[in-house]
Structure 1
Amino acid sequence: MENMFNLAGKVAVVTGASSGIGADTAFAYAQYGADVALLARRAEKLNEVKAKIEAIGRRAIAVQCDVTDETSVKEAIQTVLDTFGHIDILLNNAGVAVRGGVDSMSVEDWDKSFDTNVKGIFLVSKYVVPQMQERGYGKIVNVASVNAVVADKFDVFIRHSYNSSKAAVVGLTKGMAASYAKYGITVNAIGPGLFESEMTSETLFKSEEFLAKYNTLNPAERPGRRGELSGTVIYLSCDASSYVQGQLIIVDGGGSIV
């Protein structure tokens, strides 16, 4: 069973790899033996993650990429293939969380959510899946959200475009899984609850009132800690999950069950 979690010889592509979940998971991939291609818009942040991975003896490349732009994505994936020769694992992590309800948000903010959270997965997968089909192997993990299946409990969390775009990620995951299973490709999603990240540390995690309410409503009585998503992602990215297809695994401390 231990060998089923070994990623030695595998190449993983991580979008949104400059911070938060993306950076943590990229390092976890390296710890389990994979070489990693780091994709994001902020090149300087990517280089910090790259150095950390190289420090433990794994190969990594930092590739500047805007997942909402097809030309940028196409060139980035070609760079990965030119460097490593193949791609075994894809973590579609790049995402945004735009606040606002349908009564108040702009069309531009609505489109921003879908362009990054859904179109971004489509574009990156478009250029990764064909070589996975040719090789008869691939592991794709899409980052959705617990809010794909449950509504926000707090006014500060009103994000209708986020809710709906992450629900679309779940639908896209199921469609891809059904289509590509015959090629030896598994496609699954994770649904994180509240985790500390660059996006939340300067807002939600600075509000003692919000955290007190959140902890009261969550069975674990705390938000997720950095790194606590990595185990689930590694499982969905390795051969231990070879017969797991089209699933959404929620990692939220039990918040969605109460």
Structure 2
Amino acid sequence: MSYENLAGRTAVVTGAASGIGEAVAVTLAAQGARVALLARRAERLEAGVEKIRADGGQALAVAADVTDDASVAAAVERIHEAYGTVDLVVNNAGVMLPNPIEAARVDEWQRMIDTNVTGVLRVTGAFAEDLTEAAAQGRSADLVNVSSIAAHLTGFPGFAVYGATKAAVTHLSAMLRDEFGPRDVRVTNIEPGVTETEIVSHLADGMQEQVGGMMEAFGALAAGELADVVAYVTSRPRHVNLRQIMVLPTRQV
């Protein structure tokens, strides 16, 4: 599918080594955007960049950890040197480490908070000036945060802390519109339902079975289908902001 208004854009996608992030980077590049792929796994990033370049797109691999100030600062400097001002940021990096609350896995709670919440804040703050500058120049400027339907739904034992971090992202996105909207920067919060991603393979056995059961019952979204949503919302005329989108398999209620 082809979208107008993405050619010539400069995008940053976090969590771009696999899954939704990689699919978003590939999709935006296919529409003519220059894309900086950010993640910790350098080898996986390079593979994504090679794929984009083989298809004629422009891409840059930037190994970075969104939980580290210095790492993000270095990434921003490298992207500015290569591409200049960024006008499209996709906060996709996230971790899902479900466990019963009585397990008291403070290490896992902290990792999810650091990545899913503080990481989003850190990247948003790092590129806020870029986005407002691009908008002031009359260009489209977008901040897209990938949250989760877990921000709203209950009925998933063990996912309380993960859901809480995603609820924070959803609320943050709404509040950021108060700051960015009057300056013509669009903020979009996307909440996927059950999705086929690598993140599921990182779960403990019991939790893998739980998520696998949901996939069997509901079906699952493909990463490329979420990427298509990102491309759609960021390619609308610059005065149109699709602020909140839930994307679910049809059978997930």
TM-score computed with the length of structure 2 as normaliser? 0.89
**Distance (whole Å) between structure 1 residues aligned to residue 209 and residue 96 of structure 2:** 21
Structure 2 unmatched ranges of 5 or more: none
Query: For the aligned residues, what is the CA RMSD?
Result: 2.5
Question: Which residue identity lines up with residue 54 of structure 2 in the other structure?
Answer: A
Q: Deviations over 1:29-58 (max 9, x none)?
A: 011111110100010000000000101111
% identical equivalent positions: 35
* Aligned twin of 1:59: 58
Residues 95, 115 of structure 2: 8 Å contact kept: yes
Question: Which residue identity lines up with residue 226 of structure 1 in the other structure?
Answer: A
* Aligned twin of 2:244: 248
* Aligned twin of 1:142: 145
Q: Deviations over 1:46-82 (max 9, x none)?
A: 0000000101111111011000111111110111111
DSSP-derived class of the 1:86 partner = coil
* Aligned twin of 1:108: 107
Residues 98, 203 of structure 2: 8 Å contact kept: no
- Give the superposition deviation at 1:6: 3.4
DSSP-derived class of the 1:111 partner = helix
- Give the superposition deviation at 1:214: 2.5
Q: Deviations over 1:188-228 (max 9, x none)?
A: 1111111111122576999997578426753xxx1112311
Distance 1:206 1:18, change over 3 A: farther
DSSP-derived class of the 2:224 partner = coil
Distance 1:112 1:243, change over 3 A: same
| 1:235 and 2:232 are equivalent in the alignment | yes
The number of equivalent residue pairs is 249
DSSP-derived class of the 1:199 partner = helix
Distance 1:17 1:199, change over 3 A: same
* Aligned twin of 1:42: 41
Distance 1:154 1:34, change over 3 A: same
Question: Which residue identity lines up with residue 149 of structure 2 in the other structure?
Answer: V
- Mapping for residues 183-222 of structure 1, pairs under 5 Å: 183-201=183-201, 210=210, 213-214=213-214, 218=218, 222=219
Question: Which residue identity lines up with residue 87 of structure 1 in the other structure?
Answer: V
* Aligned twin of 1:161: 161
Structure 1 unmatched ranges of 5 or more: none
Distance 1:122 1:255, change over 3 A: farther
Question: Which residue identity lines up with residue 232 of structure 2 in the other structure?
Answer: Y
Question: Which residue identity lines up with residue 41 of structure 2 in the other structure?
Answer: R
**Distance (whole Å) between structure 1 residues aligned to residue 228 and residue 91 of structure 2:** 16
TM-score computed with the length of structure 1 as normaliser? 0.88
**Distance (whole Å) between structure 1 residues aligned to residue 106 and residue 4 of structure 2:** 43
* Aligned twin of 1:68: 67
Residues 15, 93 of structure 2: 8 Å contact kept: yes
Between 53-62 and 235-244, report the one with greater CA deviation. 235-244
